[in-house]
Chains A and B, each alone.
Chain A
Amino acid sequence: MKIAPRFMAIIVLLIVFGGIIVSAAFDQWVTTTTKEPVKFKDGEFAGQYNPADIRGSYTFGDVSRLFNIPIEDLAGAYHLPESDPAAVALKTLEDRFIEYDVDLGTSSIRLFTALYTGLPFDLTAQDSYLLPEGAEVLKEKANLTPEQLEYVNSHVAGVALTVEPTIQPTSDPATGVNAASTLVATKSAVTRTLQGPGTGSGIPDLEHTPTDRLVSGRTTFKNLLDWGVKPEDFLTTTSYEMPSANILVKDWATAKGLSFPTLKTQLQILVDAAK
């Protein structure tokens, strides 16, 4: 039997859409994630959800429900909006914290969840970072081993952050509190949270400027020189000559194919040593 193009077209449409319709009829056409991570198969944690399988399509509410983490702790650790933090999707994190030059996406949540719950997690699998507030939550609420504590301390994101404060101007006639005073109070709270560090809380100053001797994505080679890093030390550490002063270190590292987080750590040591 010959198959004409028209017949082939019908066959294609019939099989494609027929297949979808039949699978949908049997509830097999599933286009969304089940929002249930894989479980550990054996060992002490058998039957518990594996935080390494948390996905970007989950919301913070899903993480809270699946891993029994209070949503307040997650909201505090990731600057979630006061109104319905549970509805925030994990995949929006990268955009929220785009100013950071390290990974603060879903992998950060996986790390936070694993450390918070004490579930097994391969710290070497991915270079994940935490917000300063997240690190504080873990130190306060999780039972971290010395190795984990060291990891947390060395993986706190600490560069400039541009976060719009979540202000909900309301005026409650019943209480007589006017909108202006609510605004001021809320904004103050946000400012305190964001600027906590340099104020003795141990969290780095988020209003970062090139003068604070903190190597970040905005650091130039001129900053390094100003902070006392010698070109010969740079050469010894990186095996590269220090380039033109006005180039961003991050751009240079990218062009050379170097890992910026690794280089940043190395340069921070040089900066600290040059004090």
Chain B
Amino acid sequence: MTISVPVQKPTRSRKANWIRGWVQLFFFVLITLIAVNHTLAETGKDIPFLSSVSLHALCPFGGVVTLYQFITTGTFVQKVHQSSLILMIIGLVLAIFAGPVFCGWVCPLGTFQEWIAKLGKKIFKRRYNHFVPAKIDRVLRYLRYVMLISVIYMTAKSLTLVFADIDPYYALFNFWTSEVAIGGVIVLVVTMLASFFIERPWCKYACPYGALQGLFNFVRVAKLRRNIPTCINCKVCDKACPMNIEVSTASIVRNHQCISCMECTSDAHCPVPATIDFVIRGSK
């Protein structure tokens, strides 16, 4: 028996998850303004009513790396503030709810890579995001866990923010200041160049915070489900996924690389209604 399903023609609003784009733009602009205001504040010319805190205070990963020191001594790693710990908890709540939502919706570095990806897609068309051989790619994807463990270990041992020396996020929003480590600038430039060929290369292969967030894909409350009876196997979801996950072969996406961007869902790229959706556990 063949099931007949209504296939929707993608419209402009369905073609891309436009609301995510706006949320990403909002956070990118907000962080940029705060970073600029931080510089202005040092000369006493800060913009009123806008925060001028250091970006270290607005990084949830700072909360992760300082956790050991916080538990053992009650203090924070140098440059890290209590707000980082709060943001870590906020990121944790989001991750328990729906996985790495922070990566897919909030992280300005991820947004920046996606913008470069738009250019890459125009240049390389269908070849874009498929340059790295699958076997190598599969292994490289675990590098970020090596990075996560290394950074946490080295920070706990040295009591300094070792990641700041290679942090592309900090470099992106502070490249005009003398506070940026040359290592961070190099990693940022490499990430930018790689983004012309690979979507979100930093997120895929190196981001330690993404690695931690990705683990929550195994336990998140809201799950990304594919309704197998209605799926027409068009593989549009696979092509839409910035992280190259084969959504078309899973009933529930538990891949540690999923960033909960919802690009594969029926609200975005999937042409069949109610076929790929984020649903709360137990619901249909």
Among A16-24, A168-176, A207-215, A224-232, the stretch that binds chain B is: A16-24
Q: With contacts A1-B280, A3-B280 known, is A15 near B93, CB below 8 A?
A: yes
> Do A8 and B73 have beta carbons less than 8 Å apart?
no
Q: Is the interface of B mostly helix, strand, loop or mixed?
A: mixed
Query: Which chain A residue lies CB-closest to B94?
Result: A15
The size bracket of the interface on A is 20 to 34
Of the candidates A3, A12, A13, A53, which one forms a contact with B222 in the assembled complex, judged by CB atoms under 8 Å apart?
Answer: A3
Check: A6 CB closer than 8 A to any chain B CB: yes
Q: With contacts A20-B90, A30-B81 known, is A8 near B53, CB below 8 A?
A: no
Q: With contacts A31-B57, A31-B83 known, is A4 near B267, CB below 8 A?
A: yes
Interface bits B77-100 vs A (CB < 8 Å: 1, else 0): 011011100110110011001100
Check: A46 CB closer than 8 A to any chain B CB: no
Check: A32 CB closer than 8 A to any chain B CB: yes
Chain A residues near B51 (CB-CB < 8 A)? 31
Check: A55 CB closer than 8 A to any chain B CB: yes
Q: With contacts A19-B90, A23-B86 known, is A9 near B19, CB below 8 A?
A: yes
Chain B residues near A30 (CB-CB < 8 A)? 81-83
Query: Which chain B residue lies CB-closest to A92?
Result: B42
> Do B278 and A38 have beta carbons less than 8 Å apart?
no
Question: In the complex, what distance in Å separates the CA atom of A210 from the CA atom of B157?
Answer: 41
Chain A residues near B280 (CB-CB < 8 A)? 1, 3
Chain B residues near A3 (CB-CB < 8 A)? 98, 222, 277-280
Question: In the complex, what distance in Å separates the CA atom of A18 from the CA atom of B166?
Answer: 31
Check: B17 CB closer than 8 A to any chain A CB: yes
Check: A11 CB closer than 8 A to any chain B CB: yes
Of the candidates B22, B106, B274, which one forms a contact with A16 in the assembled complex, judged by CB atoms under 8 Å apart?
Answer: B106
Check: B253 CB closer than 8 A to any chain A CB: no
Check: B54 CB closer than 8 A to any chain A CB: yes
Q: Is the interface of A mostly helix, strand, loop or mixed?
A: helix
Q: With contacts A5-B17, A5-B268, A29-B86 known, is A55 near B79, CB below 8 A?
A: yes
> Do A5 and B98 have beta carbons less than 8 Å apart?
no
Chain B residues near A55 (CB-CB < 8 A)? 78-79
Shortest distance from the beta carbon of A129 to any chain B beta carbon, whole Å: 19
Q: With contacts A1-B283, A2-B279, A6-B19 known, is A11 near B97, CB below 8 A?
A: yes
User: Which of A1, A38, A94 gathers most chain B CB within 10 Å?
Assistant: A1
> Do B20 and A9 have beta carbons less than 8 Å apart?
yes
Question: In the complex, what distance in Å separates the CA atom of A4 from the CA atom of B280?
Answer: 11
> Do B81 and A32 have beta carbons less than 8 Å apart?
yes
> Do A15 and B90 have beta carbons less than 8 Å apart?
yes
Chain A residues near B179 (CB-CB < 8 A)? 91
Interface residues of A in 26-73 (CB under 8 A from B): 28-33, 38, 53, 55-56
Interface residues of A in 55-99 (CB under 8 A from B): 55-56, 91, 94-95
Interface residues of B in 35-86 (CB under 8 A from A): 51, 53-54, 57-58, 73, 75-76, 78-79, 81-83, 86
Shortest distance from the beta carbon of A20 to any chain B beta carbon, whole Å: 7
Question: In the complex, what distance in Å separates the CA atom of A53 from the CA atom of B93?
Answer: 32
Q: With contacts A30-B82, A32-B57 known, is A12 near B105, CB below 8 A?
A: yes
Q: With contacts A11-B97, A32-B57, A38-B75 known, is A2 near B81, CB below 8 A?
A: no
> Do B278 and A2 have beta carbons less than 8 Å apart?
yes
> Do B82 and A5 have beta carbons less than 8 Å apart?
no
Interface residues of B in 255-269 (CB under 8 A from A): 260, 262, 265, 267-268
Chain B residues near A11 (CB-CB < 8 A)? 94, 97-98, 101
> Do A9 and B23 have beta carbons less than 8 Å apart?
yes
Shortest distance from the beta carbon of B55 to any chain A beta carbon, whole Å: 10
Chain B residues near A29 (CB-CB < 8 A)? 82-83, 86
Chain A residues near B11 (CB-CB < 8 A)? none
> Do B81 and A33 have beta carbons less than 8 Å apart?
yes
Query: Which chain A residue lies CB-closest to B52?
Result: A31
Chain B residues near A9 (CB-CB < 8 A)? 19-20, 22-23, 105
Of the candidates A1, A2, A4, A95, which one forms a contact with B178 in the assembled complex, judged by CB atoms under 8 Å apart?
Answer: A95
Query: Which chain A residue lies CB-closest to B89?
Result: A19
23 A/B residue pairs, CB under 8 Å, sorted by A:
A2-B274, A2-B277, A2-B278, A3-B98, A5-B20, A8-B105, A8-B262, A8-B278, A9-B20, A9-B23, A11-B101, A12-B101, A12-B105, A16-B94, A19-B87, A19-B90, A29-B86, A31-B53, A31-B82, A32-B53, A53-B75, A53-B78, A94-B178
Additional pairs, 10, CB under 8 Å, beyond known A3-B280, A5-B268: A2-B278, A3-B278, A4-B267, A8-B105, A9-B20, A15-B97, A28-B86, A53-B78, A55-B78, A55-B79
